[in-house]
Structure 1
Amino acid sequence: MPTILRSGPYRVYFYSHEPNEPPHVHVDRDKASCKVWLVPVALSFSLGFSARELR
């Protein structure tokens, strides 16, 4: 899973082979994780992130 960006405690990455998924990235911080669709930008799911962090 190639890492695109590390910023403070956040890591943004993607999996190179997810054939039946629209373009998206994963974001992790400690034990929190979320998936963000890229076109259009939308939150797919979130586990452990606060609403404030997601904004």
Structure 2
Amino acid sequence: MPLVFRDKGLRFHFFSNEGNPREPIHIHVERDGHEAKFWLGDTIELAYNHGLDRRSLAMALLIIRARKRELQDAWHGHFR
């Protein structure tokens, strides 16, 4: 499970086995055992949320918007 970075108490990562065929580019965000998944297409969309509170989701979205290129580069670098 490659860790891309940690920021504001949130862990941003993806899994090495992202399905077959591989799912579209996305990022998993974790905090305190709770997780959300965001699609990183032309627009950033919440795929699911398993227990992150509204504040954590909002913070994750802000971080993803600010660091989207870094997240995309990490994904493409790993799955190259």
TM-score by length of structure 1 reads 0.82
- Tell me the TM-score normalized by structure 2: 0.60
Superposed CA RMSD in Å reads 1.4
Q: Which runs of 5+ in 2 are unaligned?
A: 59-80
Structure 1, unpaired ranges of 5+: none
Structure with max Cα Rg:
2
- What SS class does the counterpart of residue 11 from structure 1 fall into? strand
Q: Give the AA of the match of 1:48.
A: G
Deviation at 1:9, TM superposition (A): 2.1
Percent of pairs with identical residues: 40
Provide the aligned length of Structure 1 versus Structure 2: 55
> Counterpart amino acid of 1:45?
Y
Displaced runs of 4 or more, over 4 A: none
Deviation at residue 53 of structure 1 after TM alignment: 2.1
Bigger helix share: 2
